[in-house]
Amino acid sequence: MKTVRVNASKQYEVRIKDGLLKEAGQQILTVKKACSCVLVSDETVFSIYGETVVQSLQNAGFCVHTFLIPPGESSKSTANLVNLWEYLADCNITRSDLLVALGGGVVGDLTGFAAATFLRGIDFVQIPTTLLAMVDSSVGGKTAVDLQHGKNLAGAFYQPSLVLCDPSALGTLTPEIFADGMAEVIKYGFINRPELIEKLEKQADITDIITLCVEDKRDIVEQDERDNGCRQLLNLGHTLAHGIELHSGYTVSHGSAVAVGMVLITKAAVKATLCPQETLDILLNLLQKYNLPTKTQFTCEQLCEAALEDKKRKGSFITLVIPTQTGRSELKKTAIEDLPAFLIKAWDNT
Ligand code: NAD
Ligand code: GLY
């Protein structure tokens, strides 16, 4: 088993091994004694893995209640948060009890926020079942629900007590959802991991890849848990991705939008001579290899407009993440009036 220790405001381990779902109860017993727990999942994930995890928790002595939500982003809602709080109260969950999130980033973010706020904070364990959730959302303590005004607008930084990644669970993902996670994996390579890019160019072992990404996220979160500095590097491609998702009415998936966002910001950097052409070529090849898109139908004007509404904007500045060489990116504070002129070159195909 691979183990990554995270030393943030709370210390915890990310354990990565095929078959961990079956051992969930025993694994959790190493950080928490048997208690009442509420297992939160979505209907799709629960129909495949629910019985295995419930059985394992019960065998380890946990008293298990389950709370299910429909699959999809629309479930990361204030309505489901309130329903979950009420359910926790119905189950007489106390401060010494536990929440367990079994699913992708939607389940993890909602459960984490409920754990952060119910009784002013109870323990929770993340059992991510998508690649995106294994390499990104389950680690680092960002929890949230969406508001009508936008994604993740209400949330808290609240670290889990344990993260259990079972890569064998990725076998039941659709190719599209797997590819979404690969966009985030490729992102880590271009932020600061040239060796990850080399692995991805060959045939890489998925457990190794997850471990490298989690180590990377751990390093970043330990330096900047509250997202005021280097953690913003994790937003590579995301400012433009946000606009693509918004203008498509969320029909373009997050991973696909991040892939295109990374291409556009890298192209703009190449045109501004901040980054070599070779880096863009390597990025394009990798995205194609992992079945991710590299182009958008939306205009620079549309994406700039959305970027300026992004919650990451601070006053009249926005912090861009700019690739400067293969496997290295830097933060660049940019005045909002300079943004269109910088980005428009990414639409110039000469
Ligand atoms: P998701 O949770 O919606 O899962 C995608 C789909 O995959 C769902 O339909 C789900 O039912 C299905 N699924 C999950 N695991 C499966 C499995 N093993 N087999 C078959 N089907 C499975 O989406 P996601 O991509 O995991 O997460 C996206 C969410 O994560 C967004 O809300 C995003 O804002 C959030 N996020 C949070 C962070 C963070 O740091 N907290 C980081 C990145 C993304
Ligand atoms: N996924 C971005 C972050 O955790 O900061």
The residues near 141 (Cβ < 8 Å, ≥ 6 apart) are: 8, 9, 10, 112, 157, 158, 159, 160, 221, 225
Residues 190-210 have pLDDT tens digits of 999 999 999 999 988 999 999
Instruction: Tell me which ligand sits closest to the C-alpha of residue 49.
Output: 1
Global pTM reads 0.95
Indicate the pLDDT class of residue 350, thresholds 50, 70 and 90.
low
Residues 9-47 have pLDDT tens digits of 999 999 999 999 999 999 999 999 999 999 999 999 999
71 lines ligand 1 (CB under 6 A): yes
Instruction: Give pLDDT, residue 272.
Output: 95
State how beta strands 317-325 and 142-147 pair: unpaired
> Which residue(s) pair with 329 in the sheet?
323
Ligand 1 nearest atom to the CA of residue 136, by list position = 42
Indicate the pLDDT class of residue 323, thresholds 50, 70 and 90.
very high
Distance 132 CA to ligand 1 centre (A): 6
Indicate the pLDDT class of residue 311, thresholds 50, 70 and 90.
low
Residues 42-56 have pLDDT tens digits of 999 999 999 999 999
Residues 132-144 have pLDDT tens digits of 999 999 999 999 9
Instruction: Give pLDDT, residue 9.
Output: 97
pLDDT at 313 over 80: no
What values do phi and psi take at 166, rounded to 5?
-115, 95
Instruction: Give pLDDT, residue 100.
Output: 98
Q: How far is CA 296 from CA 138, 264, 283, 307, in A?
A: 29, 9, 16, 15
Residues 55-64 have pLDDT tens digits of 999 999 999 9
Instruction: Give pLDDT, residue 310.
Output: 64
* Buried-state track 11-50, b at ≥16 Cβ within 10 A, e below 16: ebbbbbbbebbbbbbebbeeebeebbbbbbbbebbbeebb
% of the chain surpassing 90 pLDDT? 89
Indicate the pLDDT class of residue 336, thresholds 50, 70 and 90.
confident
Ligand 2 nearest atom to the CA of residue 220, by list position = 5
Query: Mutation test of ligand 2: which of 132, 234, 236, 321 has the most ligand atoms closer than 8 Å to its C-beta?
Result: 234
Average pLDDT of the chain?
Answer: 95
Distance 280 CA to ligand 1 centre (A): 28
Instruction: Give pLDDT, residue 312.
Output: 64
Residues 233-289 have pLDDT tens digits of 999 999 899 899 989 988 999 999 999 999 999 999 999 999 999 999 999 999 999
